[in-house]
Amino acid sequence: MLTLTNTVLLVVDVQGKLAHMMDEKQRLFDNLQKIIEGARILEIPIIVTEQNPTGLGRTIPEIAHLLTDVQPISKINFSCCGNVAFMQSLQALNRQQILMTGIETHICVYQTTMGLLDLGYEVQVVVDAVASRTADNKAIGLEKMKSAGASVTSTEMALYELLQVADGPQFKRILKIVK
Protein backbone atom coordinates (compact mmCIF):
# COMPACT_ATOMS: atom_id res chain seq x y z
CA MET A 1 0.00 0.00 0.00
CA LEU A 2 1.02 3.55 -0.65
CA THR A 3 2.03 5.59 2.38
CA LEU A 4 2.21 9.34 2.90
CA THR A 5 5.82 9.20 4.06
CA ASN A 6 7.15 7.03 1.23
CA THR A 7 5.34 8.25 -1.92
CA VAL A 8 6.38 10.64 -4.70
CA LEU A 9 4.12 11.83 -7.52
CA LEU A 10 5.94 11.85 -10.86
CA VAL A 11 4.41 13.86 -13.73
CA VAL A 12 6.19 12.89 -16.96
CA ASP A 13 6.31 15.18 -20.01
CA VAL A 14 2.78 16.61 -20.23
CA GLN A 15 3.83 19.22 -22.76
CA GLY A 16 2.78 21.41 -25.62
CA LYS A 17 0.98 20.22 -28.71
CA LEU A 18 1.86 16.59 -27.97
CA ALA A 19 -0.29 16.60 -24.82
CA HIS A 20 -3.24 17.76 -26.90
CA MET A 21 -2.78 14.82 -29.28
CA MET A 22 -3.41 12.23 -26.56
CA ASP A 23 -6.29 9.78 -26.77
CA GLU A 24 -8.92 10.86 -24.22
CA LYS A 25 -6.94 14.02 -23.49
CA GLN A 26 -9.62 15.72 -21.41
CA ARG A 27 -9.89 12.70 -19.10
CA LEU A 28 -6.08 12.75 -18.79
CA PHE A 29 -5.98 16.47 -17.97
CA ASP A 30 -8.85 16.18 -15.45
CA ASN A 31 -7.22 13.27 -13.61
CA LEU A 32 -3.79 14.89 -13.62
CA GLN A 33 -5.33 17.96 -12.01
CA LYS A 34 -7.07 15.80 -9.39
CA ILE A 35 -3.99 13.80 -8.46
CA ILE A 36 -1.78 16.90 -8.33
CA GLU A 37 -4.30 18.71 -6.12
CA GLY A 38 -4.60 15.60 -3.95
CA ALA A 39 -0.82 15.31 -3.63
CA ARG A 40 -0.72 18.94 -2.51
CA ILE A 41 -3.37 18.34 0.16
CA LEU A 42 -1.56 15.22 1.37
CA GLU A 43 1.85 16.94 1.18
CA ILE A 44 3.28 14.37 -1.23
CA PRO A 45 6.38 15.62 -3.07
CA ILE A 46 5.96 16.14 -6.82
CA ILE A 47 8.60 15.79 -9.53
CA VAL A 48 7.83 17.09 -13.03
CA THR A 49 9.83 16.33 -16.17
CA GLU A 50 9.84 17.83 -19.64
CA GLN A 51 11.14 15.97 -22.68
CA ASN A 52 13.17 18.32 -24.88
CA PRO A 53 11.13 21.43 -23.97
CA THR A 54 12.80 23.46 -26.73
CA GLY A 55 11.25 21.15 -29.31
CA LEU A 56 8.07 19.97 -27.59
CA GLY A 57 7.17 23.02 -25.50
CA ARG A 58 6.64 23.44 -21.81
CA THR A 59 4.21 21.74 -19.44
CA ILE A 60 0.68 22.63 -20.57
CA PRO A 61 -1.06 25.50 -18.74
CA GLU A 62 -3.89 23.19 -17.61
CA ILE A 63 -1.32 21.42 -15.41
CA ALA A 64 1.44 24.02 -14.96
CA HIS A 65 -0.78 26.40 -12.97
CA LEU A 66 -0.91 23.75 -10.22
CA LEU A 67 2.87 23.37 -10.20
CA THR A 68 4.15 26.93 -10.01
CA ASP A 69 6.56 26.04 -7.19
CA VAL A 70 7.92 22.92 -8.93
CA GLN A 71 10.82 23.39 -11.33
CA PRO A 72 10.44 20.94 -14.23
CA ILE A 73 13.47 18.80 -14.95
CA SER A 74 14.45 19.04 -18.60
CA LYS A 75 15.57 15.79 -20.22
CA ILE A 76 16.37 14.23 -23.57
CA ASN A 77 16.38 10.59 -22.46
CA PHE A 78 13.05 8.82 -22.80
CA SER A 79 13.62 7.33 -19.34
CA CYS A 80 13.79 9.89 -16.56
CA CYS A 81 16.31 7.56 -14.93
CA GLY A 82 18.85 8.50 -17.58
CA ASN A 83 18.86 12.08 -16.32
CA VAL A 84 21.26 13.00 -13.51
CA ALA A 85 19.14 15.90 -12.19
CA PHE A 86 16.07 13.65 -12.00
CA MET A 87 17.92 10.90 -10.17
CA GLN A 88 19.42 13.41 -7.70
CA SER A 89 15.99 14.93 -7.03
CA LEU A 90 14.40 11.52 -6.52
CA GLN A 91 17.18 10.19 -4.30
CA ALA A 92 17.13 13.37 -2.17
CA LEU A 93 13.49 12.66 -1.28
CA ASN A 94 14.44 9.25 0.16
CA ARG A 95 11.10 7.70 -0.85
CA GLN A 96 10.57 4.37 -2.56
CA GLN A 97 6.98 4.49 -3.89
CA ILE A 98 6.40 6.27 -7.18
CA LEU A 99 2.96 7.29 -8.44
CA MET A 100 3.58 7.42 -12.20
CA THR A 101 1.58 9.80 -14.39
CA GLY A 102 2.13 11.49 -17.74
CA ILE A 103 2.75 10.81 -21.40
CA GLU A 104 3.35 8.81 -23.44
CA THR A 105 2.46 5.54 -21.72
CA HIS A 106 4.39 3.35 -24.15
CA ILE A 107 7.52 5.53 -24.38
CA CYS A 108 8.67 7.81 -21.54
CA VAL A 109 6.29 6.47 -18.88
CA TYR A 110 7.18 2.88 -19.82
CA GLN A 111 10.94 3.41 -19.99
CA THR A 112 10.98 5.40 -16.74
CA THR A 113 8.94 2.71 -15.00
CA MET A 114 11.36 0.02 -16.19
CA GLY A 115 14.33 2.05 -14.95
CA LEU A 116 12.74 2.68 -11.57
CA LEU A 117 11.82 -0.98 -11.15
CA ASP A 118 15.41 -1.95 -12.00
CA LEU A 119 16.58 0.42 -9.25
CA GLY A 120 14.28 -1.21 -6.68
CA TYR A 121 11.50 1.38 -6.56
CA GLU A 122 7.84 0.37 -6.21
CA VAL A 123 5.96 1.89 -9.13
CA GLN A 124 2.20 2.35 -9.32
CA VAL A 125 1.03 3.55 -12.72
CA VAL A 126 -2.06 5.75 -12.46
CA VAL A 127 -3.99 4.29 -15.41
CA ASP A 128 -6.40 7.21 -15.78
CA ALA A 129 -3.57 9.77 -15.55
CA VAL A 130 -1.31 8.34 -18.28
CA ALA A 131 -1.96 8.44 -22.02
CA SER A 132 -0.65 7.76 -25.49
CA ARG A 133 -1.77 9.05 -28.87
CA THR A 134 -3.58 5.74 -29.43
CA ALA A 135 -5.46 3.45 -27.07
CA ASP A 136 -3.50 0.46 -28.42
CA ASN A 137 -0.14 1.98 -27.49
CA LYS A 138 -1.42 2.85 -24.01
CA ALA A 139 -2.67 -0.72 -23.52
CA ILE A 140 0.63 -2.23 -24.70
CA GLY A 141 2.63 0.07 -22.42
CA LEU A 142 0.45 -0.77 -19.41
CA GLU A 143 0.67 -4.49 -20.13
CA LYS A 144 4.46 -4.44 -20.35
CA MET A 145 4.81 -2.40 -17.16
CA LYS A 146 2.50 -4.75 -15.25
CA SER A 147 4.33 -7.84 -16.48
CA ALA A 148 7.61 -6.26 -15.32
CA GLY A 149 6.29 -5.75 -11.79
CA ALA A 150 4.62 -2.35 -11.75
CA SER A 151 1.21 -2.07 -10.12
CA VAL A 152 -1.72 -0.22 -11.62
CA THR A 153 -4.03 2.13 -9.79
CA SER A 154 -6.45 4.97 -10.51
CA THR A 155 -6.47 8.57 -9.39
CA GLU A 156 -9.25 8.01 -6.88
CA MET A 157 -7.87 4.69 -5.60
CA ALA A 158 -4.40 6.18 -5.02
CA LEU A 159 -5.74 9.23 -3.18
CA TYR A 160 -7.94 7.17 -0.88
CA GLU A 161 -5.15 4.65 -0.31
CA LEU A 162 -2.88 7.47 0.81
CA LEU A 163 -5.63 9.05 2.90
CA GLN A 164 -6.57 5.81 4.73
CA VAL A 165 -9.38 7.33 6.82
CA ALA A 166 -12.74 8.93 6.03
CA ASP A 167 -12.28 11.69 8.55
CA GLY A 168 -10.66 15.06 9.03
CA PRO A 169 -9.94 18.12 6.90
CA GLN A 170 -7.77 16.27 4.35
CA PHE A 171 -10.57 13.77 3.72
CA LYS A 172 -13.07 16.59 3.17
CA ARG A 173 -10.75 18.33 0.70
CA ILE A 174 -9.98 15.09 -1.18
CA LEU A 175 -13.69 14.32 -1.35
CA LYS A 176 -14.30 17.64 -3.12
CA ILE A 177 -11.59 16.82 -5.67
CA VAL A 178 -12.78 13.34 -6.63
CA LYS A 179 -16.49 14.22 -6.90
- Does the annotation count 34 as an active-site position? no
Cross-strand partners of 176: none
Which residue among 34, 75, 80, 81 is the active-site one?
75
Which residue among 34, 80, 81, 108 is the active-site one?
108
Cα 165 to Cα 175: distance, rounded to the nearest angstrom: 12
- Does the annotation count 108 as an active-site position? yes
DSSP H or E run through 76:
none
CB 137 within 8 A of CB 104: yes
Give every CB contact of residue 148 below 8 A, 6+ residues apart in sequence.
113, 114, 117
Which residue among 13, 80, 81, 128 is the active-site one?
13
Q: Write a three-state SS string for 19-55.
A: HCCCCCHHHHHHHHHHHHHHHHHHCCCEEEEEECHHH
- Indicate the length of the chain as a whole number: 179
- Does the annotation count 30 as an active-site position? no
Give every CB contact of residue 123 below 8 A, 6+ residues apart in sequence.
98, 100, 113, 116, 117, 145, 149, 150, 151
Cα 102 to Cα 99: distance, rounded to the nearest angstrom: 10
Residues involved in catalysis: 13, 75, 108
